[in-house]
Amino acid sequence: MKLFVIIIGCFCLFLVAEVKAQEYNDTTQVWKIITIDGNEFIGTIKKREPAQFIVTSPLYGKIILNQTDIKKLIPISSDQMVNGEVWNANPQASRYFWAPNGYGLKKGEGYYQNVWVMGNQASYGFTDYFTFGLGMIPLFFFAGEPTPIWITPKFSFPIVKDKFNMGAGAILGTVVGDGTSMGLFYGVGTVGNRNSNLNFGAGLGFVDEEWGNAPVFTLSAMTRISKKIYLLTENYLLITDDLSISLLTFGGRTVWPKVSIDYGLVVPISDEMDEMVAIPWLGFVIPFGTY
């Protein structure tokens, strides 16, 4: 529990740090502009006046918008523009089925994830470089059973923009009603952009005050094959002196503007297993914030 106090204290100090305001002076950046009456425009901001934006849209030409009429400005990355059409951003680009990669949520982005009803987690990007999540399996609904809760602080570091990112973070939890504490500290490196990438990671975990004697390795990947569909794989490997365990996951993700669904099969493999077992995976993600 002392570790939780330290993490929460650092988190609170981090929130009060000043964050540089977003600039709009890049005339090549493509934006999705949503007005307060629900209209949407795709274009570049050619000039920003004290009270107006002068926008050039491929469809509507030159548009002058009052700042008071603009509800939201969403940057569109180059990989979202396909044959002149805007593909929705990956609402869970910072994760695969569950494992994190080197990308973080952008400032103001958030999502709620649910896996098989019982697994719940909400994550939010407080800056472009720091994401914080909170999760729970609400077993207290079942006659007050001990309930696991966890937090997921993560820092992301762009090494080469949209090509190579690194991340470091932790998954720290406790079981309310039982007193057990557990966690994992990890580092990851991701090659590729937010839509298609390959990720390698390693982490070391603990239960109560006892640390594991071997790291856990991860190898994951995703690729976008259409406007709405991604292919995903997420894999873990743990090797000790007397045990080797692999966890292989294959499946996909289908995205819509307001929700995405993950689906696949989880295949555990160990030296002690006599036959193959495939466990279904089903989850959904609801984005919120500046998506």
Measure Cα distances from 80 to 25, 30, 110, 215 in Å. Answer: 21, 10, 19, 36
pLDDT for position 15? 41
The gap from C-alpha 53 to its chain's centroid, in whole angstroms, comes to: 31
Alpha-helix residue ranges (DSSP H) falling in the chain: 2-15
Q: Would you say 124 and 131 are in contact if contact means Cβ atoms under 8 Å apart?
A: yes
pLDDT at 10: 53
Structural domain contains residue 32: no
pLDDT at 13: 45
What span, in angstroms and rounded, lies between the C-alpha atoms of 260 and 240?
Answer: 37
C-alpha distances (whole Å) from 236 to each of 163, 201, 213, 239 are: 23, 9, 16, 10
Per-residue pLDDT of the chain (291 residues; tens, 9 = 90+): 455 445 545 544 444 343 333 445 667 788 888 888 878 878 788 877 777 788 877 777 888 888 888 888 878 777 777 776 778 778 889 999 999 999 999 999 999 999 999 999 999 999 999 999 999 999 888 777 899 999 999 999 999 988 999 999 999 999 998 889 999 999 999 999 999 999 999 999 999 989 988 999 999 999 999 989 999 999 999 988 777 899 999 999 999 888 999 999 999 998 778 788 999 999 999 999 876
Q: How far apart are CA 55 and CA 189, in angstroms?
A: 37
Query: For position 5, what pLDDT does the model report?
Result: 42
CATH number, position 219: 2.40.160.40
Structural domain for 233, as ranges: 90-289
Task: Return the amino acid letter for 264.
Answer: G
Q: Which pLDDT score, from 0 to 100, does residue 209 have?
A: 85
How far is the C-alpha of 83 from the C-alpha of 153, rounded, in Å? 37
Do residues 125 and 136 make contact, with C-beta atoms less than 8 angstroms apart? no
> Would you say residue 48 lies in a domain?
no
Predicted confidence at residue 21, as pLDDT, reads 36
Q: Which residues contact 39 (CB under 8 A, 6 or more apart)?
A: none
Residue 53 lies in a domain: no
CA atoms within 13 A on the CB side of 71: 11
The answer to whether residue 23 sits within a structural domain is: no
Tokens of 49: 């006046």
Structure tokens at 231: 């292919």
Return the SS3 of 172.
Answer: strand
Inside any domain, residue 161 = yes
Note whether residue 24 is domain-resident.
no
Question: Cβ(177)–Cβ(157) under 8 Å?
Answer: no
Domain count, the chain: 1
Structure confidence at residue 7 (pLDDT): 52
Backbone angles phi, psi at 147, to 5 degrees: -120, 120
> For residue 66, is it within any domain?
no
CA–CA separation, 234 vs 217, rounded Å?
11
Domain annotation covers residue 180: yes
**Rounded Cα–Cα distance for residues 263 and 281 (Å):** 5
